[in-house]
Chains A and B, each alone.
Chain A
Amino acid sequence: GQQLNQSPQSMFIQEGEDVSMNCTSSSIFNTWLWYKQDPGEGPVLLIALYKAGELTSNGRLTAQFGITRKDSFLNISASIPSDVGIYFCAGHPPVGGTSYGKLTFGQGTILTVHP
Chain B
Amino acid sequence: DSGVTQTPKHLITATGQRVTLRCSPRSGDLSVYWYQQSLDQGLQFLIHYYNGEERAKGNILERFSAQQFPDLHSELNLSSLELGDSALYFCASSAGGGITDTQYFGPGTRLTVL
Contacts and interface: CB of A to CB of B under 8 A. Distances in A.
Contacts of A100: 56
Interface of A: 1, 30-31, 40-45, 48, 50, 88, 90, 92, 100-108
A44 B108 CA distance: 12
7 contacts: A41-B108, A42-B108, A45-B104, A102-B48, A102-B56, A107-B42, A108-B43
A101 B105 contact: no
In order of increasing CB-CB distance, the 6 nearest A-B pairs are A42-B105, A105-B43, A92-B99, A101-B56, A102-B45, A107-B42
Given A101-B55, A103-B33, A40 B42 contact: no
Interface residues of B, number: 24
Nearest to B105: A42
B103 A105 contact: no
A13 B44 CA distance: 29
A42 to B, nearest CB: 3
